Amino acid sequence: MPDANNRRPTNKTYGNPTPPPSLVDEHSERWAFFLFLSFLLVLFGTAIWLVFGDHTAPEPPQPEISLSGTEQFITIHEPIQPLPLTVKLNPDKVALGKMLFSDTRLSQDNTMACISCHNLSSGGADGKQVSTGAGGARGQVNTLSVFNSAYQIAWFWDGRAATLNEQIDGPIHNPLEMGITWDRLEKKLQQITEYETLFGKVYADGINEENIKDAIVAFEQSLITPNSRFDRYLRGETDAISENEKTGYQLFKDYGCVACHQGMNIGGNMFQIFGVAKNYFENRGNITRADLGRFNVTGRKEDKYRFRVPSLRNVALTAPYFHDGSRDTLEQAVHIMAEYQLGRTIPDTDVALIVSFLNTLTGEYPYEGIK
């Protein structure tokens, strides 16, 4: 055992050996040198920045631009996103699709065209509670706008069509709308010289069901309404909307409307029960099969009264509102949504501000002559 008298002195606080005085001096000098060198480097860097640096204020963060296919999208840090300003499509297909979209010969009695219910001069709908089809037949639900429909997750109120292409079958075959078969329609169009020429220009195999659908889809994809005042505001044009409209947008978010109406189409990207907070159909009465919504597609109990959330773009132009066309004004529609979806009463002053915001969602029509 070592002699206690020969032990090295220890630091009383930490119990570590105390270094010899020479080592302490050496470490102190080394640290002083490093500190002095660091000071010189900082001083030198500061001098360089003062002489050559950029002293302007930093730029605010800019929207991120990303490309998806042939369309340009801009990501804004808000629950609502602006529409792309342009969409690149085959112009010959679009022109052919536009012609088909407006041609009454696509119906069995030559009285109805797509444009009959989707009027491009009035918000892409027809302004009626329900539309009138071939032979005067009345539809069962309010007509949705065709504008910006390419940006939805599904088509029709009940979402029974998964693609734009599939959606075309609905009105073509529906006896309440155009009421014609593809075989008969192909034969009708094949007898029209102009269509023979136009289809031959775009499609190697000419007129058939697949190509008719493809041309109409191309036209419908072109029906975007960009550059609304609100989109311009999102892109950084702060004076594109008024202070009241900005307040209306804030209320739209604060009350929770954005839970269903968000994204690029301000809706159209989810399904929701009509009557989350209160039973709308029980209070309205006279429940029809159309009121069952997505249940008619899936057969699942939880899908009763569930509908695809409609887009709010151009909503000021597409009255009456809801699948049953039961409300004629935006003020009425906002009150109904507050009561049955949010479970609350919104003061008229706040409703007016929210409606002022909704009026900023009207975009620019894609074709000349549409007002």
Write the DSSP assignment of 68-122 as a string of letters. Answer: ETTEEEEE-SSSB-PPPS-B---HHHHHHHHHHHT-GGGSTTS---HHHHSBTTT
Annotated catalytic residue 220: no
Across 41-50, 166-175, 266-275, the highest mean pLDDT is recorded for 266-275
Q: What is the pTM of this model?
A: 0.79
Cα separation, 113 vs 124, in Å, equals 13
Across 6-15, 219-228, 231-240, 348-357, least confident range: 6-15
Of 274-278, 291-295, 366-370, minimum mean pLDDT range: 366-370
Report the candidate in 42, 44, 40 with the shortest Cα–Cα distance to residue 32: 40
Residue 302: DSSP 8-state: G
Tell me the pLDDT tens digit for each residue of 325-353: 999 999 999 999 999 999 999 999 999 99
Helix axes 91-101, 209-221, angle to 10 degrees: 100
Lowest average pLDDT, out of 51-55, 94-98, 233-237, 289-293, goes to: 51-55
Say if CB 123 and CB 145 are below 8 A apart. yes
Given 1.10.760.10, 3.40.50.360, 3.30.160.270, 1.50.10.20, which CATH number is that of 230-361? 1.10.760.10
Ranges in the chain annotated CATH 1.10.760.10: 91-221, 230-361
- For the domain with range 91-221, which CATH number is right: 3.40.50.300, 3.30.200.20, 1.10.760.10, 1.20.1250.20? 1.10.760.10
Determine the pLDDT at residue 12.
38
Q: What is the mean pLDDT of residues 181-201?
A: 97
Q: What pLDDT score was predicted for residue 366?
A: 79
Whether the Cβ atoms of residue 293 and residue 307 lie closer than 8 Å to each other: yes
Q: Which of 17, 89, 73, 100 minimizes the C-alpha distance to 264?
A: 73
The share of the chain scoring above pLDDT 90, in percent, equals 73
Angle at 155 between CA 152 and CA 156, to 5 degrees: 130
**The pLDDT of residue 310 is above 90:** yes
pLDDT class of 319 with cuts at 50, 70, 90: very high
Q: What is the pLDDT of residue 32?
A: 54
Q: Per the residue annotation, which of 29, 64, 166, 177 is the catalytic one? A: 177
pLDDT of residue 44: 53
Listed range (11-20, 131-140, 141-150, 155-164) with the worst mean pLDDT? 11-20
pLDDT digits (tens, 9 = 90+) for 141-177: 999 999 999 999 999 999 999 999 999 999 999 988 9
CA-based nearest residue to 308, from 333, 272, 276:
272
| Position 115 pLDDT exceeds 70 | yes
| pLDDT, tens digit, 9 for 90 and up, residues 60-108 | 333 333 333 344 556 678 999 999 999 999 999 999 999 999 999 999 9
Mean pLDDT of 295-301: 98
